[in-house]
Amino acid sequence: MPDETQATPVGRRPAEQRHSSESMPIKDENSEIEGTREPHPDRTPKPNTDGPEADSGAPRLGLMGGGDGAPATPGFRFAAIGALLVVVLFAGYGLGRLNGGTTDPQAATPAGTRQPTPTASAFDESQPHTHGTTAPIGSTGRGAAVGGLSLSGDGLTLTPLITTFPGGRPQRLDFTINGPGGAPVTTYDVVHDKPLHLIVIRRDLTGFQHLHPVMAADGTWSVDLTLAEPGVYRMIADFTAVVGGERLVSTLGSDLTVAGDYTPVTLPDPARATTVDGLQVGYEGTPVTESTQPLLMTVTDSAGRPVTVEPYLGAFGHLVVLRQGDLGYVHVHPETQLVDGKVKFWLAAPSPGTYRMFFDFQVAGKVSTAAWTVVVS
């Protein structure tokens, strides 16, 4: 289903990065630091008692002597040493520049501090990936992890302000994501052009909606929501919250209710092709639990001629997979390039069972959603 709302940019980055800079006080030689400073025995002027110069009062020449052969004062010696250090530091800086500046910027970070990753996403957007985990697809060696089964996790809690809706007419849905201390979170990463993706689906896997609420300054998310028929619906919030400088990739769920007589709808039989908005959409590949398999989506017009699939929300498509029974949720993004005009996803089914796959895509500026029933044995 097309995106029915438009999200505005929110805090792109976590709490502002603070780079500590230390200043070194310049101290007069006669001042005191942490108590009285005893004179160094080597710096105490000693009378010359040897040789004829001892009686003549002739000046004694030495290293860094003062003008007219006068002995160097402590201040003069320190000034000369400081000038030498400045020369050495600038020489080292110049050599570093000539060597290409290979210093690791993280090496300058004070120990014990955590610097936020300078990116808009916790995911590697150059690779196909599954929401709810930052691990690359296939790296776990087992089926995809599911999300949306709990309203809390990682110290975060999904809190809808209202859960009862009228049937067939719009009502505002307001909710917050509360942090460990109970206050609403207000900083999120932007993932695929939006700080939060909201999926709404009835318990019988009908009435699919992919929405993008808008967040107010106090952390309250809002969107106008229409639930067409009576029944229990699941709202699934998919986001990356930034709490205390840490990115928390989360998928939380809660139920919404429309009062009335509920008649569950039987899912369509499994098929590899469907028609939506005058377009024919099919897929190749078979999801299994033992390994990650490719799924290639093809979109053609009514005459079977290929059409151009356009980027939508930072990708050539979005695949949401929901499991019958508990509505376990998987959200997958495709490879960054089309393969012979096809959109290529990688998916490992979470477990055996019956699933409904929803493929959001855009053609000629219009967003459509194709859906299939898939049975994984």
Q: How far apart are CA 339 and CA 342, in angstroms?
A: 5
Residue whose token pair is 């006669």: 30
Per the structure block, which two tokens stand in for 181? 């201390």
Give residue 143's pLDDT. 74
β strands within the chain, DSSP E:
152-153, 156-160, 164-165, 171-178, 196-202, 209-211, 214-215, 220-225, 231-243, 246-258, 273-276, 279-284, 293-300, 318-323, 329-332, 343-347, 353-363, 366-376
Average pLDDT of 68-97? 50
% of the chain with per-residue pLDDT over 70 = 62
Is residue 17 over pLDDT 60? no
Is residue 248 over pLDDT 50? yes
Give the largest CA-CA distance in the chain. 121
Give residue 73's pLDDT. 53
Give residue 144's pLDDT. 84
Nearest to 357, CA basis, from 254, 284, 253:
284
Contact 314, 362 (CB under 8 A): no
Give residue 82's pLDDT. 60
* Topology given in CATH for the domain delimited by 152-258: Immunoglobulin-like (2.60.40)
* Topology given in CATH for the domain delimited by 273-376: Immunoglobulin-like (2.60.40)
Angle, CA of 81, 83 and 85, to the nearest 5°: 70
Angle, CA of 348, 349 and 352, to the nearest 5°: 145
Across 25-34, 224-233, 253-262, 310-319, least confident range: 25-34
Across 96-105, 161-170, 287-296, least confident range: 96-105
Contact 118, 109 (CB under 8 A): no
Bridging pattern class, strands 196-202 and 209-211 = antiparallel
Residue whose token pair is 């502002």: 16
pLDDT in tens, 153-192: 999 999 999 999 999 999 999 999 999 999 999 999 999 9
Q: Which residue has the higher pLDDT, 162 or 105?
A: 162
Angle, CA of 146, 149 and 153, to the nearest 5°: 95
Nearest to 228, CA basis, from 213, 208, 211:
208
Is residue 343 over pLDDT 80? yes
Is residue 72 over pLDDT 90? no
Average pLDDT of 113-141? 42
Give residue 209's pLDDT. 98
pLDDT in tens, 22-42: 333 333 333 333 333 333 434
Mean residue pLDDT of the chain comes to 76
The dihedral formed by the CA atoms of 124, 129, 132 and 136, expressed in degrees to the nearest 10? -70
Contact 344, 139 (CB under 8 A): no
Kindly indicate the confidence band of residue 74, based on its pLDDT and cuts at 50, 70 and 90.
low
Average pLDDT of 209-215? 98
- Give the phi and the psi of residue 179 in degrees, each rounded to 5: -85, -175
Give residue 220's pLDDT. 98
Is residue 63 over pLDDT 70? no
Q: How far apart are the first and last CA of the chain?
A: 28
Give residue 2's pLDDT. 44
Which distant-in-sequence residues (6+ apart) come within 8 Å of 144 by Cβ?
130, 137, 321, 330, 332, 347, 348, 349, 350
Cβ count within 10 A of residue 201: 23
CB burial of residue 220 (10 Å; 0-12, 13-18, 19+): middle
Is residue 55 over pLDDT 80? no
Is residue 100 over pLDDT 70? no
Return the exposure string of 109-122: e unless at least 16 CB atoms fall within 10 Å of the residue's CB, then b.
Answer: eeeeeeeeeeebbb
Average pLDDT of 72-91? 54
**Which residue type is seen at 181?**
G
> What 3-state DSSP class applies to 119?
coil
Average pLDDT of 230-242? 98
Average pLDDT of 249-271? 97
Contact 282, 343 (CB under 8 A): no
Residues of the chain with CATH 2.60.40.1930: 152-258, 273-376
